[in-house]
A and B are shown apart, each in its own frame.
Chain A
Amino acid sequence: MSWRLLKNEIGRTLFRTKVLLAFLAMFAFDVWNVMTTANPSAIFPFILPLLVPFIIGDSLVGERHNSYSWLVLTRGLSKSRYIVIKMLAGAINCIVLTIALTAAFSLAGAVIKGAPLRLGSETMQFHPELLLHNPLLHAAAIFALVVLSCIAALGLTFVASTYTVSPYVAMSLPLLIIMALAFFLPEPWRWLSPYGRIIFTASHRPWINMLDMTAYWLVLGSILYSWAIIKYLFTEGI
């Protein structure tokens, strides 16, 4: 039952005008960057994690808001399974969106510059993982970090949704939290800010610590998803 529901959930949240428009906007932004910059780097790795709660975050919070979840749960689907399906579908959608944008960016590079472009810039280097000096591994590492940061950002929406039934609040809060932490965290705590780790993936800054970045997103994501699942399961209703 769950695979079928997961497939349906991915299909219905991904194939929407809203998602297509967001995809086209990010793609257009990257095309513009490829056309106007000598050494272009994809901008979507920075934009996507900030926007993903708006793009696909309404799946759960919207259904809670209009009571659609009530219809689903009276059909014998347990609350835990329902929430896990929503979260898994969200994660898979993040992967699909990142793949689509990476491919589109690469293709735009091939058409405009005559050669496919990879994620990350030439001046961007990981440290101390020497293996990642390989350009393809380098691009793959950025791809993985974008996916992880998107999933974690979506986790913020899930947590926010346990405190509000308003989909607009739940979808906006992640962006507000990320920006607020970037500006208002005291200097000794600034390393906790997700924003710094999002902007690195699209910037020309050197010496990014791959292990630190991966560990950060994995830990943050795990905390957020565990928090949301526990809160949902131990709170009445949906």
Chain B
Amino acid sequence: MTKSTTIIKETFRPPTVPVVSLKMAGKRYGQKWVVREASFDLYPGQIFGLVGPNGAGKTTLLKMITGLVRPSSGTVTVAGMSNRTEKAEALPSIGLVIENPPAIDHLSGLRNLQLLASIKNQIGATEMAAALRQVGLNPEDKRPVRKYSLGMRQRLALAQAIMEKPELLILDEPTNGLDPQGIADLRNFLMQLKQEGVSILLASHLLTEVERICDEVVIIKNGHIVHRVTQKTGNEPQQMHVAIKLTTPKDGKIVADWAKNKEWLVIGEGIDLRLQGVIAMPALIKDLVSLGISIEAVYPEESDLETIYLREVGGLNQ
């Protein structure tokens, strides 16, 4: 089951038509499901984060969205159209940054952009030079890309992704090789694109950055979306994670049923339970005592993205 968490932050209110929509999408190679039952919507002006360990299925998910691989189950739509049957209409509005950004190494940055831009032939040298300047590269730089640092290659990758002003920007590990200043620049740049209505799908291992800029984040493990973190307005009541350790397993069922009646999410069973919801600690303890539950410990858990991530992928409590 996919769990969800809400972290208080500036609000994002989705419009009605998603730019990307996955409905129970899955991908199987042979007998192995690389992505299973993935469902989420990405709306215009939203930044959506994908996090998970290496090999979790993030890249396959991105390939499904860009139409490079066909889903084995479920549907994937881009701008309301199937990215396979209506590829020509759906795909031209996607900008893509791939991990370990590829480029034609013996050509200059500008020439690389020219080659890629020649496919759609929608923009000229001015727009390409502007895109290079926007990411901090010099369009006059004649050096071949093989002489670029990793950070410069990453900037070039970003330039090719944004030069045609896509509606959807897909970024797979865009911070690789960037120095702290570069990361800050990228963050500001993405926030600016978001303001302009660009939808951004961001796969990254930098959880603090993801938490900082994403409106919604999903944690993927072994091809499953195991947790969904939504950032909501500070006016809404705060969600809490509370861990409870009981002395007798039979109390676990009583607590779980009671918590479900309160519409809290219950994770675990027996003597180890986690509750998630709008929970007030003093009232919780009072209620448990009044129910006659024998408690060994009750404590609030951190609910920042890193803690949730480590808990979900097995880094904590294992």
Within 8 A of A (CB), among B74-115: 87-88, 91-92, 94, 96, 98, 100, 102-104, 106-107, 115
Nearest CB of chain A from residue B105's CB, rounded to whole Å: 9
Task: Confirm or deny: A163 has a beta carbon within 8 angstroms of a beta carbon on chain B.
Answer: no
Q: A72-B116, A76-B119, A77-B119 are in contact. Are A63 and B102 (CB under 8 A)?
A: yes
Nearest CB of chain B from residue A201's CB, rounded to whole Å: 31
Task: Confirm or deny: A8 has a beta carbon within 8 angstroms of a beta carbon on chain B.
Answer: yes
Task: Confirm or deny: B68 has a beta carbon within 8 angstroms of a beta carbon on chain A.
Answer: yes
Task: Confirm or deny: A71 has a beta carbon within 8 angstroms of a beta carbon on chain B.
Answer: yes
Question: Is there contact, CB below 8 Å, between B120 and A76?
Answer: yes
Within 8 A of B (CB), among A59-104: 63, 66-68, 70-78
The CA-CA distance from A8 to B116 in the complex, in Å, is 10
Question: Is there contact, CB below 8 Å, between B88 and A76?
Answer: yes
- A67: chain B residues at CB < 8 Å are 98, 100, 102
- B69: chain A residues at CB < 8 Å are 236-237
Q: A76-B88, A236-B69, A237-B69 are in contact. Are A71 and B120 (CB under 8 A)?
A: no
Task: Confirm or deny: A180 has a beta carbon within 8 angstroms of a beta carbon on chain B.
Answer: no
Task: Confirm or deny: A190 has a beta carbon within 8 angstroms of a beta carbon on chain B.
Answer: no
The CA-CA distance from A77 to B69 in the complex, in Å, is 15
Question: Is there contact, CB below 8 Å, between A237 and B118?
Answer: no
Size category of the binding interface on chain A: 20 to 34
* Residue in B98, B121, B164 whose CB lies within 8 Å of A70: B98
- A66: chain B residues at CB < 8 Å are 100, 102
Question: Is there contact, CB below 8 Å, between B115 and A12?
Answer: yes
Question: Is there contact, CB below 8 Å, between A74 and B91?
Answer: yes
Task: Confirm or deny: B70 has a beta carbon within 8 angstroms of a beta carbon on chain A.
Answer: yes
* Residue in A1, A12, A17, A70 whose CB lies within 8 Å of B119: A1
Q: A5-B118, A76-B120 are in contact. Are A70 and B107 (CB under 8 A)?
A: no
For B62, the closest partner residue in chain A by CB is A70
Size category of the binding interface on chain B: 20 to 34
Task: Confirm or deny: B63 has a beta carbon within 8 angstroms of a beta carbon on chain A.
Answer: yes
- B67: chain A residues at CB < 8 Å are 73-74
Question: Is there contact, CB below 8 Å, between A71 and B92?
Answer: no
For A66, the closest partner residue in chain B by CB is B102
- A28: chain B residues at CB < 8 Å are none
Task: Confirm or deny: B175 has a beta carbon within 8 angstroms of a beta carbon on chain A.
Answer: no
The CA-CA distance from A17 to B107 in the complex, in Å, is 11
Task: Confirm or deny: A238 has a beta carbon within 8 angstroms of a beta carbon on chain B.
Answer: yes
The CA-CA distance from A66 to B115 in the complex, in Å, is 17
Task: Confirm or deny: A113 has a beta carbon within 8 angstroms of a beta carbon on chain B.
Answer: no
- B103: chain A residues at CB < 8 Å are 68
For B96, the closest partner residue in chain A by CB is A74
Q: A4-B118, A67-B102, A68-B104 are in contact. Are A74 and B70 (CB under 8 A)?
A: no
- A71: chain B residues at CB < 8 Å are 96, 98, 102, 116, 160
Task: Confirm or deny: A16 has a beta carbon within 8 angstroms of a beta carbon on chain B.
Answer: yes
* Residue in B68, B115, B121 whose CB lies within 8 Å of A1: B121
For A79, the closest partner residue in chain B by CB is B68
Task: Confirm or deny: B66 has a beta carbon within 8 angstroms of a beta carbon on chain A.
Answer: yes
Question: Is there contact, CB below 8 Å, between B68 and A73?
Answer: yes
- B160: chain A residues at CB < 8 Å are 71
The CA-CA distance from A66 to B105 in the complex, in Å, is 11
Nearest CB of chain A from residue B115's CB, rounded to whole Å: 6
Question: Is there contact, CB below 8 Å, between B91 and A76?
Answer: yes
- B116: chain A residues at CB < 8 Å are 71-72, 75
For A238, the closest partner residue in chain B by CB is B68
The CA-CA distance from A206 to B94 in the complex, in Å, is 60
- A76: chain B residues at CB < 8 Å are 87-88, 91-92, 119-120
- A70: chain B residues at CB < 8 Å are 63, 66, 68, 96, 98
The CA-CA distance from A237 to B84 in the complex, in Å, is 12
The CA-CA distance from A111 to B152 in the complex, in Å, is 48
Nearest CB of chain B from residue A20's CB, rounded to whole Å: 11
Nearest CB of chain A from residue B63's CB, rounded to whole Å: 7
Question: Is there contact, CB below 8 Å, between A75 and B92?
Answer: yes
Nearest CB of chain B from residue A151's CB, rounded to whole Å: 23
Contact with A along B106-136 (1 / 0, CB 8 A): 1100000001101111000000000000000
Question: Is there contact, CB below 8 Å, between A4 and B121?
Answer: yes
- A4: chain B residues at CB < 8 Å are 118, 121
- A12: chain B residues at CB < 8 Å are 104, 107, 115
- Which of B69, B91, B102 has the most C-beta atoms of chain A within 10 angstroms of its own C-beta? B102
The CA-CA distance from A237 to B63 in the complex, in Å, is 8
- Which of A4, A66, A67 has the most C-beta atoms of chain B within 10 angstroms of its own C-beta? A67
Q: A67-B100, A68-B103, A70-B63 are in contact. List 12 more A-B contacts (CB 8 A).
A: A1-B119, A5-B118, A12-B104, A66-B102, A67-B102, A70-B68, A73-B68, A74-B96, A75-B119, A75-B120, A76-B88, A237-B69
* Interface residues in chain A, defined as those with a beta carbon under 8 Å from any beta carbon in chain B: 1, 4-5, 8, 12, 16-17, 63, 66-68, 70-78, 236-238
6 A-B residue pairs with Cβ-Cβ distance under 8 Å, sorted by A, are: A8-B115, A71-B116, A71-B160, A76-B92, A237-B69, A238-B68
